[in-house]
A and B are shown apart, each in its own frame.
Chain A
């Protein structure tokens, strides 16, 4: 049997079912590795003691019908967990202990999973490198002083470094797919309305979705099956029949029409990414798919649109952090001064920048010029996809315009940081499902990903295409455990 922590979710499940491993053994193996992996800084809060208790409890009366039987899982620190501190990577929530559970994490525990702890992320999920976290940056296990992507950077690093078998992240503009691409892992953003947003710290409510981050496509299909559910507590949750994604997973993609959008060929894109994309197209053809050239003409307007819509929604969502009801408070002479000091000291620079952008575009006299304009362009972007999907079943693109960059390389230039999400943002604006799978490496041996985009609620199709491509690509992440301490 291979080392416990390097096993996939399905391997761990079958070892538990065949009684070759106990939940306690598995849980302790992950905890033991975490203790030696502090250098990566993936954990904000651990739940190790309680996790061991829960694993013993599971072993004393194991329910093997569960989809995640006794499997320990760490989650992004954006999901509220009852009785376990939830910070969203921010000083302003440094001492916040929720008295309720997010629906998506509840779905994990209801299928037998055990909480290992809360994973680092960019503050309020605003960032593409995990460098905006109040709890410090995360190291990418792929190489020293590389960012793991963001905002779900602690999550992507934890999966790649074998510190959790699988995890869940959230994706507002690429925050699952970009870090998955940077770490050689799989990440899926579901259709808007698939996974409940209840109990997830809100960033931009019309874009936010939770989704699985895993080592392979099959694990991803199982985790999606568990977390995707209709929920009365989320007013935008959609009631539709969800597939049994893992059972229906198939490599048969013969006759599927896959679109290649010419606008995703951007200036200064490294040759390796161009080559990776070409290889992906060849593999898809090998599998019997039909390749069709398509156009998404408003692609270049997606990022400017996103940087109006997302900050506008964020400025409104983050108004609740005022030092009155929970979280950090800085005392003031009067109520207004308390608000202003609390928010000034409690939020980091990037969050403040985005609140300011959002406040400005929503302020009197500017609403039409910015916010309304952006919502109109968003309609055009959505229409691009509607038109494309009348001709094709899925779209294949690179996940990111570059591989992982060095820590500190882009922190002084917000716009260059924003450009990371050029291929992922349009999918959030259109509410579509998208998945990033590892597809190759650049000249530095850093992983690169390909993205498969689907029609609304067509997660099964993009999982199947990814499953077929994964088999052809046969990607191997060679991670040397350079960070381990005794």
Chain B
């Protein structure tokens, strides 16, 4: 299997990473090399193998459903790229 330029552009769209044609071509080469290496897995028959979903054989813990008010608004907004004391600011979304 090989990944073409159209697929690279499609993946970059899904990943929300813009790439120009030069970068896309370079990525195409890299990804094909990497997938050639990954395809080795097809040598194995895994029809009757159950997929591993958790490496630590434990079930997730429950905690009490409690409201904790830590007043952390300021902390959360502290690293916001565009300053505003109440909200995260983004370009206009609704026309």
Contacts and interface: CB of A to CB of B under 8 A. Distances in A.
Interface of A: 95-97, 99-100, 192-193, 206, 232, 235-236, 238, 298, 300-301, 303-305, 307-308, 315, 319, 322-329, 331-341, 343-344, 347, 352-353, 355-357, 359-360, 363, 370, 372-380, 382, 413-415, 418, 429-431
B38 A370 contact: yes
Contact of B31 (A338, A360, A375, A380): A360
Interface in B44-62: 44, 46, 49-56, 58, 60-61
Interface string B74-86: 0110111110000
Interface string B31-42: 101110111111
A95 B72 CA distance: 20
Contacts of A380: 44, 46, 49
Nearest to A419: B37
Given A356-B27, A363-B11, A380-B46, A430 B34 contact: no
Contacts of A333: 91
A355 to B, nearest CB: 5
Nearest to A355: B15
List 6 tightest A-B contacts by C-beta distance, closest first.
A326-B79, A431-B55, A375-B51, A329-B81, A99-B75, A340-B18
Contact of A238 (B53, B56, B72): B56
A374 B11 contact: no
A232 B66 CA distance: 15
B interface majority secondary structure? loop
B91 A300 contact: no
B67 interface: no
Contact of B34 (A315, A339, A352, A357): A357
Contacts of B19: 344
11 contacts: A238-B56, A325-B76, A326-B79, A337-B91, A340-B16, A344-B17, A360-B3, A373-B42, A379-B49, A379-B51, A415-B34
Contact of A335 (B34, B80, B82, B90): B90
Contacts of A325: 76, 79-80, 88
Nearest to A373: B41
B68 interface: no
A374 B40 contact: no
Given A344-B17, A360-B11, A414-B34, A323 B53 contact: no
B27 to A, nearest CB: 6
A interface majority secondary structure? helix
Nearest to A328: B81
Contacts of B11: 356, 359-360, 363
Given A99-B75, A335-B91, A415-B33, A373 B17 contact: no
A374 B41 contact: yes
Contacts of A100: 75
A376 B19 CA distance: 33
B12 interface: yes
A96 B50 CA distance: 41
Contacts of B14: 359, 363
A149 to B, nearest CB: 21
Interface string B1-33: 001000110011011111100000001001101
A377 B30 contact: no
Contacts of A331: 91
A235 B15 CA distance: 27
A465 B57 CA distance: 26
Contact of A300 (B17, B40, B81): B40
Given A235-B61, A325-B80, A304 B41 contact: yes
A90 to B, nearest CB: 14
Given A324-B88, A329-B82, A376-B51, A343 B17 contact: yes
Contacts of B30: 353, 414
B95 to A, nearest CB: 10
B15 A343 contact: yes
Given A333-B91, A335-B90, A335-B93, A353 B50 contact: no
B38 A326 contact: no
B3, B37, B50, B81 — most chain A CB neighbours (10 Å): B81
Nearest to A354: B34
A376 B80 contact: no
A387 B51 CA distance: 18
A346 to B, nearest CB: 9
B78 A97 contact: yes
Contacts of B78: 97, 99
A100 B93 CA distance: 31
A340 B79 contact: no
Nearest to A305: B41
A247 to B, nearest CB: 26
A192 B57 CA distance: 10
